[in-house]
Amino acid sequence: MFGTYFYHERIRKSVAVFGAMFNNLYVLRKSSAGGTISQVRVPLSYAPKRDFLNRIANMSGGEDGERIVAIKLPRMSFEITSYAYDPTRQLTKTSNHNMVGTTTSQRAKINAPIPYNINFQLNIYAKSQDDALQIVEQIIPFFNPQYAVTIKPISTLPSLLEDNQIVLNGISFSDDYEGALEQRRSILYTLDFDMKINFYGPIADSEIIKQVDAAIYNMNTGLADSDEYIGLVRVLPNPADASPDSDYGFSTTIFKALDSA
């Protein structure tokens, strides 16, 4: 049943899309007079929150440690925290996608996708409250509370487009300013997002229907065993070698009962 290999890289693409949204944020350092001293691009990486918190804690103490922390903060990291099925977006099983296949005589068919929500957690680390607030305020205005991104979920089907909504669920922060004097202060803002994506199954190729026959019977002949055959209506594309995406018409032929179809 599950022997057909396929891999659409849906989770990998979702991670890339989510990370690309936050990889171009900056923090400005200003003097007391209001002039800009420096502009720092905030690094972003995919990593668990606990790894960065441990690294920040280990760098505390001494002038050298202070200098190392100043170089590494502010920065951001994100990770996937959970997956959840979304029944509110489930389509009927007959809602299939049909597209042109590998040849003009075939069509590509893919069954209705399965909707899931991927929970992402974006963490912002800073050594000052102003740095953290600059980053947060460059993110919040774009989510009200969702932001839509159009992607191509399956690379082999470029005509298939999908709008993925990314929802900002909430923001929390922590500040360890109550720690010991020699302990390095670290400010952490955590933003929780839900990305609504679809998982697709394997792509199947099937023949394109190019001939339709409709048999006509007379149901009022009074025969006990079967109805009386009257004729046949046959519909063909015109021209016969038309491709599925070309502009073509149809030719209709009606065969009587004594004619040969």
Show the domain range for 249: 209-256
Specify the pLDDT at position 117: 97
Whether residue 55 is contained in a domain is answered as yes
For residues 133 and 184, membership in a common domain is answered with yes
Read off the amino acid at residue 124. Answer: I
Whether residue 100 is contained in a domain is answered as no
For residues 216 and 152, membership in a common domain is answered with no
Pick from 43, 42, 82: which is nearest to 195 by CA? 82
Name the domain count of the chain: 2
Whether residue 39 is contained in a domain is answered as yes
For residues 59 and 121, membership in a common domain is answered with yes
For residues 130 and 244, membership in a common domain is answered with no
For residues 134 and 248, membership in a common domain is answered with no
Distance CA 245, CA 210 (A): 13
The sheet with strand 44-46 has its strands ordered as 44-46, 75-85, 114-126, 187-199, 162-175, 146-151
Question: pLDDT by residue (tens digit) across 170-220?
Answer: 999 887 655 554 555 678 999 999 999 999 988 887 777 888 998 888 776
Cβ contacts of 201 within 8 Å, gap of 6 or more: 6, 110, 111, 113
- 237, pLDDT greater than 50: yes
Question: pLDDT by residue (tens digit) across 84-114?
Answer: 999 999 988 777 777 666 566 677 788 889 9
For residues 213 and 189, membership in a common domain is answered with no
Is the Cβ–Cβ distance between 117 and 87 less than 8 Å? no
Cβ contacts of 66 within 8 Å, gap of 6 or more: 184
Is the Cβ–Cβ distance between 57 and 46 less than 8 Å? no
Whether residue 128 is contained in a domain is answered as yes
52-to-65, 69, 83, 183 alpha-carbon distances in Å: 15, 11, 23, 15
Whole-number average pLDDT of the chain:
81
Whether residue 103 is contained in a domain is answered as no
Whether residue 202 is contained in a domain is answered as no
For residues 143 and 65, membership in a common domain is answered with yes
What's the pTM value of the predicted model, to 2 decimals? Answer: 0.71
Specify the pLDDT at position 177: 57
For residues 27 and 127, membership in a common domain is answered with yes
- 242, pLDDT greater than 90: no
CA 254 to chain centre: 49
Whether residue 106 is contained in a domain is answered as no
Is the Cβ–Cβ distance between 175 and 126 less than 8 Å? no
Distance CA 166, CA 56 (A): 30
Specify the pLDDT at position 9: 92
Which CATH number belongs to the domain containing residue 186 in this structure? 3.30.2000.40
Question: pLDDT by residue (tens digit) across 244-256?
Answer: 667 788 888 888 7
For residues 52 and 171, membership in a common domain is answered with yes
For residues 174 and 68, membership in a common domain is answered with yes
For residues 138 and 170, membership in a common domain is answered with yes
Average confidence (pLDDT) over 108-122:
91
Whether residue 203 is contained in a domain is answered as no
Question: pLDDT by residue (tens digit) across 43-58?
Answer: 999 988 777 666 666 6
Question: pLDDT by residue (tens digit) across 220-233?
Answer: 665 555 667 788 89
For residues 170 and 231, membership in a common domain is answered with no
Q: Is 103 exposed, middle or buried (0-12, 13-18, 19+ CB in 10 A)?
A: exposed
Tell me, letter by letter, the H, E, C secondary structure of 8-27: CCHHHHHHHHHHHHCCCCEE
227-255 per-residue burial string, b: 16 or more CB within 10 A, e: under 16: eeeebbeeeebeeeebebeeeeeeeeeeb
